Structure formats: structure tokens, C-alpha cells
Amino acid sequence: MRIAPCLLALAAGFLAVSCSPYQRDFRQAVAAAQGRHADPTGPWKGTWHSVPSGHDGPLWCIITETPGRAGSYDFRYRAGWGILNFGDYTHTVPVKRRPGGALGVTGSMELPAAVGTYSLDGMVTNDRFDAKYTSTKGDHGTFTLRRPE
């Protein structure tokens, strides 16, 4: 029967995605940050929403200070759409500290050619990460993330 090998391959693919280095690193970041959110670094979980298409999906981010680059942070993203989770993109952004310790985030990141270059403009506090994005391919929308429980 030919269906069995296809189902096995599909199951292996889902297992590989669920055991990705990103998922492992995200779980470790959540465990390390439990109850300690004195600054915007650490894990974030939320959604992205595209205005033109109406599509949306889950979004994860791990924020860390960029080693050797004072005033810059690495935003490591993974997104989803439908049953798919994709990407492991690190976006290094120079940030501006705002009153109260919030980070003003403005920058661009080149993604694979079919996706284009994304620009981000937002604010990250100790418990909220809200941003607007635009793409050179015509997409634009929002990111809304909070601390995972």
C-alpha cells in the first residue's frame, strides 16, 4: 500500500519540525525566564496579521543582546500559518531606549527572495511587544506578542 510510506514521511516531517533547534531553544528560554522579566530580553509568543491578505498565524521570538554590539539586540523569529511552522530568522536591530526601559525597534531584514525585505517599527516593554511591519512584496501588518506562560 502506497499510503503508508506517505503517512510515515508526513509524520517524520512533523516530528522534525516539532523538534527543531528553535523549539528547543524557545522552551529553554521560557524555563530560564520564568517570573523574571526585568527587561525586554527573553521569550515572546503571539501572532502576526497581514492586512492585505487577512492571513495570520502564531509568532515566536527570542530577544537577546547582540554580543559585541552595544545597543543592538537579536530578534530570533519563527512564524506559522495554518499547520505549518517555518523560519528561524535572526534580525539584528539597533534599538533606542525609551523612558521606562522600553526598546524602540526600527529596522529591516532581508528574507528569502519570495518573501522580500521586511521592515519593522515597534516597541518592546518588559511585558508587551507590539510592532507594524511592511514588505517589499506589498505585505504589511502587525505583530502582537506577550510573555509566554
CATH code of the domain covering residue 126: 2.40.128.120
Q: For position 11, what pLDDT does the model report?
A: 37
- pLDDT beyond 80 at 115: no
- pLDDT beyond 90 at 31: no
- Tell me what the mean pLDDT of segment 64-81 comes to: 92
Q: For position 15, what pLDDT does the model report?
A: 39
What is the overall mean pLDDT for the chain? 82
Q: What is the pTM of this model?
A: 0.78
**Total domains, the chain:** 1
CB under 8 Å to 38, separation ≥6 — which residues? 126
Question: Is 15 within a domain?
Answer: no
Q: 79 is written with which cell numbers? A: 512564524
Q: 28 is written with which cell numbers? A: 529553554
Q: 96 is written with which cell numbers? A: 533606542
Question: Is 130 within a domain?
Answer: yes
Question: Is 20 within a domain?
Answer: no
Question: Is 128 within a domain?
Answer: yes
Banded pLDDT at 12 (limits 50, 70, 90)? very low
- Tell me what the mean pLDDT of segment 62-67 comes to: 94
**Residue 139: strand, helix, or coil:** coil
Domain around 126: 25-146
Strands 72-81 and 117-124: unpaired
Question: Is 97 within a domain?
Answer: yes
- pLDDT beyond 50 at 145: yes
Question: Is 64 within a domain?
Answer: yes
